[in-house]
Amino acid sequence: MLQILIFLAVFVVIIFPMGKYMYHITASQHTFADPIFDRVDNVIYRLCSIDRKGMQWKQYAMAMLTTNAIMVLIGYLILRIQTVPFFNPNSIGGMEPVLSFNTVISFITNTDLQHYSGESGLSYLSQMLVITFMMFTSSATGFSVAAAVIRGFAAKTKTVGNFYADIIRITTRVFLPLSLAIGLLLVSQGVVQNLSPNTTVQTIEGKYQDLSMGPVAALESIKHLGTNGGGFFGANSTAPFENPNVLTNMIEMLSMMILPGSVVVMFGLMVRSRGKSSEKDMERKRLFSREAKPVFAVMFFLLVIGIAVCFWAEQAGNPALQQVGLNQSMGSMEGKEMRFGIAQSALFTTVTTAFTTGSINNMHDTLTPIGGMVALVNMMLNLVFGGKGVGLINMLMYVILTVFICGLMVGRTPEYLAKKIEGREMKLTALAIIIHPLLILSFSALAIALPAGLAGISNPGPHGFTQVLYEFSSASANNGSGFEGLGDNTYFWNITTGLAMFFGRYLSMIIMLAVAGSLMLKRPVSESIGTLKTDTGTFTIVLFMVIIIIAALTFFPALILGPITEHMVLWN
Amino acid sequence: MNKKTKTNFITGDILKASILGAFKKLNPLYMIKNPVMFVVESGFIITLLLGFVPDLFGDEGADLYLYNFTVSAILLITVLFANFAEAVAEGRGKAQAQSLKKTQKDMHARILKDNGEDEIISADGLKKDDIVLVKSGELIPNDGEVIKGIASVDESAITGESAPVVKESGGDFASVTGGTTVVSDWLKIRITSDPGESFLDKMISLVEGASRQKTPNEIALNTLLVSLTIIFLIVIVSLYPIALYSGIHLQISTLIALIVCLIPTTIGGLLSAIGIAGMDRVTRFNVIAMSGKAVEVCGDVDTMILDKTGTITYGNRMAAKFIPVGNASEEELIRYSVISSLKDDTPEGKSIVSLGESLSGKRQQEIPGMKSVEFTAQTRMSGIDLPDSIKIRKGASDAIQKYVRELGSVIPTDLEGSVNEVARLGGTPLVVCLKEQILGVIYLKDTIKQGLTERFARLRAIGIKTIMCTGDNPLTAATIAQEAGVDSFIAECRPEDKIAAIKAEQAEGKIVAMTGDGTNDAPALAQANVGIAMNSGTAAAKEAANMVDLDSDPTKILDVVEIGKQLLITRGALTTFSIANDVAKYFAIIPAMFMAVIPQMQILNIMVLSTPYSAILSALIFNAIIIPILIPLAMRGVEYRPMSAEKMLTRNMLIYGLGGIIAPFAGIKIIDLIITPLLTAAGL
């Protein structure tokens, strides 16, 4: 209990300096590290002959899409020909086309859903050039788009920024140095980092065991920093070589939380008013810039509820195992690592799904129904911090919706950040909100209606349905964790989840860029006492309720037939 | 169109017409314009089919006929309720339009030809720039401008104001409106609008709601409602296979019931009624808005630019103070000032009498044989001659001084000071003399309209800034501005200063409203986001404005702003209520759907509804009857009191948000208690 509280306190403390640093990077302001990074960046700009002119939202979206498309092509090619003996000491064969398609989409979209097992499915070359590389670029892409969207909302510039400059600046100034530091920290705790082939050792029992090796630490650090979540090994962060002890567990969790949390702080700083200098001084004294407050409050509250419910559910144990005589006083330890226990496991599960990382330190398939539901709901909401940038974008969608309803309630055309929310913005926002339930529910319905989908389900009854629901929620939310009981390396699952990941990622990004582009061009309206304030307690509560009623209740019937029924049957 | 009659929101005639209208609107081609209700109507048709052929989609179960028919009937009633709401709103406007149309139908015009002859033709045949002659007792056939003659015109058909107005060529009183009656003398009028485009035509189409276009906010809200409908359709359509996997064969009628309960039917059904009723409320204030958008924009107004004369002050100078000079006492001054004004019918004169009487506490009787001396431009004074040849005069300071000097008297030394002091305060000094003795000065002052100070305070409470425009010098302007409580003023204001002020406010991102009447206000009216022209004003001003106030009462702008806000709040409140209702409906229907196969679902049946059928039907019935229950609210608009946005949000969220969550729990439970015995009797 105490460890969870301290952990959350550390999280809240570290995001402020980080948020400020990221704000300086995004707003192209001076930072302490400029003398080094400016030189590095300039070399890259010159090498790639990048024109750092500001872009309109459409150009920005095109630049993002084409860059991603090129990386997809290269990634796909490498996976198909990885059988060549180049950084391939374990002689891994080429990956088959449909699985390669799924894998490439999975990593470029920051999802990291893995329908393969790292040890047997990928060569070191693929791990480094496809997996680790895309972990950097996909998270930098997500961050860049968020930066562009926020610039549009803030409307202090005439353009949403330059995609190439954004992606380079965030990579060289945040991801690379932080990954290096965290990677070394992990190595010091026992995470492996080598290019040697797998070794076979004799265990104490006298049996022989293969120990998987590889450049794990390099992948492990960006896996969490970039909220990617794809493990080097199939067992992900439950494997001792990825996550050896409680300290690394904490480091990994904080790594995935720091950037999505900081983005909220950064958002507040970027949109703060250009008002008089006295107001600015006031702003400086506050912890949060005011617009970030309701966003952070709602995210943090949802996170705390999630952690509490998950912890409580896992601690309660499993009555079915109790009946067969297994002591449940430790909680439901099935599928969990002894070195982490209930608290560290429940925390990791909630954090990894809330921050849409998708790495796991316990088997989510064996969580209690309610514990599993917390993970599921986090992904269905996809805005409890979410992936860096993307979670904030999703939250802004609901902020616009709330502003619209609240704005009418005070008798004015709704305004957010001094921009009117009108038909066009509502149309786009509505579209973005529809996408998520559409992908999750219709693909899930399809899966259980078709034999190809049913074939993957390894458990009958409500748990089987939860597996399906979880898989698509994870794919659509670009989370990547799985209820691993699902037999998902088939044409059906590779293609459907591939599509869910693709649309789940790019559609909402493009739509929110369009919203930002449209808001940016609007003439700002003045603020008076009759204007709706979006930084107050009332607004925060309404925002929370709107999310609960619209985002959560949408999935209520599905949750009833999945985890809730399972829970009621289990405890009856 | 009389604003004085307090109308009930529904009358017998309107009720009958609306019920008929509700059925007529069932036409799917019409319904598709309202996607939310179209889904309900589609649900009605499907369940009706299922009533005849229950196994159409493979549903099984006893009593399906009855169940399907019941669901179908409730859905039909839901649609009818929504249509009824819209029909009632339209009906109220139609009744007004009807009487206007009648006026229009039997109008004739005496057209003057170039050769000087005249001919009576039907008013429809009139074109722009035709010249017509209208004699006493005749209707003015179309909008126009008086080019010759002077006459009093009864405008009650348009404004509801029974006192006739004088119209004459040139100046601000040249414009006449078609449909009004000349009650004395004659007018030669040049027609200024083509047939079908007159003010009367515009009014008819506006009150009828025929030319009603969706406003930007309505479009945005509609988008939200449609997207919510789509989301819930996705939820329900996908639920069918998911439930099937869980071993539950859901009946189509039940799924349709759930869809209808979850989609925002309450606001969907009332949305257009709210819009029509909002316009109607504006019309009831005798303001004609050229579009619904104009009314909505009013809710957003940040700054109001108001003329001093006519809007903030009465425009007439009223006596405010008596200042005796020389040896005269105040009592003496008051007494003779009052006597001199007894026969003076000008507002100034009346105000002297009433102020004098209230200060002295005595009523001054007329002295028999007294003769009034009229004001002339030559003498620049007026007064009274008493029978004993005592002359009392009042007038401009220099005129009276000259008059007294000619009589051989001296000017009191303190007169100069008093006169200057009054002038400095922005007042008009009126000097009074009895025979050759100067008694003192009457301070005539611009008076602020009653209740205006409170209204400005109200405006400040909702964050609207007021700017007063006046031709007065800065000092006078400051005095009036402070007294009225306006936020700022522009003194010695020329028309171009007004435009500059509007542009400056708009540059700061503010929405500006203004009232105006003269031709030189037209550019400013066009520049402002909301321009309200006075009906007494020139045609150019009316053309440039987006609202016309038929009573020519410039303070109406304040009411219109509140109506605009109320309109938006009503939409927001009902949307919130509608969405908040979903929580209870989920808890009514979801357990009912699955209880048969998963008995543990009973835990979620927190309202303890008796059977699955009763639960589903109760939710559906609640969903239907909430529409007529809320019709009066939609028509009237939610209560509006000026307060800060934050307070208003909290208050409305508590009423409509929290209320919207709680109300259906109670409502559905009560309906369940009522229908359970009925359903048992029917065997469901």
Confidence grade of residue B225 (pLDDT, cut at 50, 70, 90) = very high
> How far is A118 from A343, CA to CA, in rounded Å?
28
- The answer to the question of residue A562 being in a domain is yes
B220 to chain A: which residues are within 8 Å by CB? 404, 414, 421-423, 425-427
Quick check: A69 contacting B, CB < 8 Å? no
Paired sense of beta strands B512-516 and B488-490, if any: unpaired
Token code pair at residue B562: 């509140």
pLDDT for B457: 85
- The answer to the question of residue A540 being in a domain is yes
- The answer to the question of residue A27 being in a domain is no
Confidence grade of residue B157 (pLDDT, cut at 50, 70, 90) = low
Higher pLDDT pick, B509 / A547:
A547
> How far is B529 from B510, CA to CA, in rounded Å?
9
pLDDT for B171: 64
Gyration radius from chain A CA atoms: 23
- The answer to the question of residue A532 being in a domain is yes
- The answer to the question of residue A430 being in a domain is yes
Quick check: A529 contacting B, CB < 8 Å? yes
Helix, strand, or coil (residue A24): helix
What is chain B's mean pLDDT, rounded?
Answer: 85
A442–B238: do the CB atoms touch at under 8 Å?
Answer: yes
Quick check: A536 contacting B, CB < 8 Å? yes
Nearest CA distance, B240 vs chain A (angstrom): 8
**Number of folded domains in chain A?**
1
pLDDT for B158: 66
> How far is B545 from A493, CA to CA, in rounded Å?
62
Q: Which of A515, A295, A521, A526 is nearest to A415 (CA)?
A: A526
pLDDT for B159: 62
A279: left (phi > 0), else alpha (psi -120 to 50), else beta? alpha
Q: Which of A260-264, A380-384, B63-67, B193-197 has the lowest mean pLDDT?
A: B193-197
pLDDT at residue B101 tops 80: no
- The answer to the question of residue A392 being in a domain is yes
Residue B531's alpha-carbon distances to B209, B297, B505, B524, B557, in angstroms, are 21, 11, 15, 8, 9
Quick check: A462 contacting B, CB < 8 Å? yes
Per annotation, catalytic residue among B59, B201, B307, B344: B307
pLDDT at residue B1 tops 50: no
Q: Which residues of chain A have pLDDT under 50?
A: 276-278
Give residues 145 to 184 of A whose Cβ lies within 8 Å of B: none
B231–A444: do the CB atoms touch at under 8 Å?
Answer: no
Question: Within chain B, what is the greatest distance between any pair of CA atoms?
Answer: 117
* pLDDT tens readout for residues B322-343: 999 988 888 889 988 888 888 8
Quick check: A570 contacting B, CB < 8 Å? no
- The answer to the question of residue A468 being in a domain is yes
pLDDT for B89: 83
pLDDT at residue B6 tops 50: no
Q: Residue B54 — φ and ψ, nearest 5°?
A: -60, -30
- The answer to the question of residue A224 being in a domain is no
Confidence grade of residue B272 (pLDDT, cut at 50, 70, 90) = confident
Is B122:B193 a contact under the CB 8 Å cutoff?
A: no
SS (H, E, C) B166-234: EEECCHHHCEECCCCEEEEECEEEEECCCCCCCHHHHHHHHHHCCCCCCCHHHHHHHHHHHHHHHHHHH
Q: What is the pTM of this model?
A: 0.86
B605 to chain A: which residues are within 8 Å by CB? none
Is B284:B2 a contact under the CB 8 Å cutoff?
A: no
SS (H, E, C) A310-379: HHHHHHCCCHHHHHCCCCCCCCCCCCECCCCHHHHHHHHHHHHHHCCCCCCCECHHHCCHHHHHHHHHHH
pLDDT at residue B107 tops 80: no
Average pLDDT over residues B287-301: 83
B650 to chain A: which residues are within 8 Å by CB? 538
Count of pairs with CB atoms under 8 A, one residue in A, one in B: 210
Nearest CA distance, B4 vs chain A (angstrom): 27
A442 to chain B: which residues are within 8 Å by CB? 234, 237-238
Residue B204's alpha-carbon distances to B160, B207, B548, in angstroms, are 15, 5, 14
Average pLDDT over residues B14-22: 87
Most confident listed range (A275-289, B183-197, B305-319): B183-197
Pure H helices in B246-311: 252-262, 265-284, 292-299
The helix (run of H) or strand (run of E) holding residue A6 is: helix A2-26
pLDDT at residue B5 tops 50: no
The helix (run of H) or strand (run of E) holding residue B498 is: helix B495-507
Strands (E), B507-635: 512-516, 530-534, 547-549
* pLDDT tens readout for residues B342-368: 887 777 888 888 888 888 887 777 778
Amino acid at B313: T
A441 to chain B: which residues are within 8 Å by CB? 234-235, 238
Residue B599's alpha-carbon distances to A214, A568, B240, B244, B406, in angstroms, are 52, 10, 19, 16, 112
Is A16:A261 a contact under the CB 8 Å cutoff?
A: no
pLDDT for B160: 57
Q: Which of A227, A226, A222, A259 is nearest to A242 (CA)?
A: A222
> How far is A375 from B207, CA to CA, in rounded Å?
55
The DSSP code for B247 is T
pLDDT at residue B197 tops 80: no
Active site residue B114: no
Percent of chain B scoring above 90 in pLDDT: 27
Quick check: A5 contacting B, CB < 8 Å? no
Residue A42's alpha-carbon distances to A47, A223, A385, in angstroms, are 8, 27, 32
Is B645:A533 a contact under the CB 8 Å cutoff?
A: yes
Domain range for residue A474?
388-570
The DSSP code for B483 is H
Question: Within chain A, what is the greatest distance between any pair of CA atoms?
Answer: 78
pLDDT for B281: 84
SS (H, E, C) B433-479: EECCEEEEEEEEEEEECCCHHHHHHHHHHCCCEEEEECCCCHHHHHH
Q: Residue A445 — φ and ψ, nearest 5°?
A: -60, -40
pLDDT for A396: 94
Residue B270's alpha-carbon distances to B36, B79, B82, B628, in angstroms, are 11, 11, 6, 9
